[in-house]
């Protein structure tokens, strides 16, 4: 057996467990009626950090902060439209789009996690 298939199996296995390892409790919204629908600066920062932590599992293939090497075959995630990223991940998750490892990876994330990661990647430039 060559190194590449063993390496790929390890990468795929890591991606299958990465979503469950990266789970964090969502930041809570303010409780008072005057605060309804508003997030504190601290809660916003916590949600951003949670999204960044989830997105970190994508770095193995898609590069740090979603910026892979320019000459590579893996698509860039940084700076893409959030709606496009969400649609792609939902299509992988629901079996509407095929791929080598992305369908399995997408199934490991909740819809809320996908939305958070897509927003985080969209903010990266």
Render pLDDT for 35-87 as a digit per residue (tens, 0 to 9): 556 789 999 999 999 999 999 999 999 999 999 998 989 999 999 999 999 99
DSSP one-letter code for 26 = P
Render pLDDT for 102-119 as a digit per residue (tens, 0 to 9): 999 999 999 999 999 999
SS3 76: coil
Query: Minimal CA–CA distance to 48: which of 75, 70, 23, 27?
Result: 27
Q: In this predicted structure, what is the pLDDT of residue 2?
A: 45
Render pLDDT for 16-36 as a digit per residue (tens, 0 to 9): 444 444 444 444 444 555 555
- What CA–CA distance (Å, rounded) separates 78 from 90? 18
Complete domains list, the chain, with CATH: 3-21+41-123 (1.10.760.10)
């Amino acid at each position: 057996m060559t190194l590449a298939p063993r390496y790929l199996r390890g990468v795929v296995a890591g991606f299958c467990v990465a979503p469950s390892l990266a789970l964090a409790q969502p930041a809570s919204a303010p409780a008072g009626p005057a605060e309804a629908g508003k997030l504190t600066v601290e809660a916003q920062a916590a949600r951003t950090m949670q999204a960044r932590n989830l997105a970190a599992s994508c770095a193995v293939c898609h590069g740090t902060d979603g910026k892979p090497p320019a000459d590579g075959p893996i698509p860039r995630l940084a700076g893409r439209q959030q709606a496009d990223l969400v649609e792609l991940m939902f299509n992988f998750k629901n079996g509407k789009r095929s791929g080598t490892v992305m369908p399995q990876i997408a199934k490991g994330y909740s819809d809320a996690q996908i939305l958070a990661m897509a927003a985080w990647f969209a903010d990266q430039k």
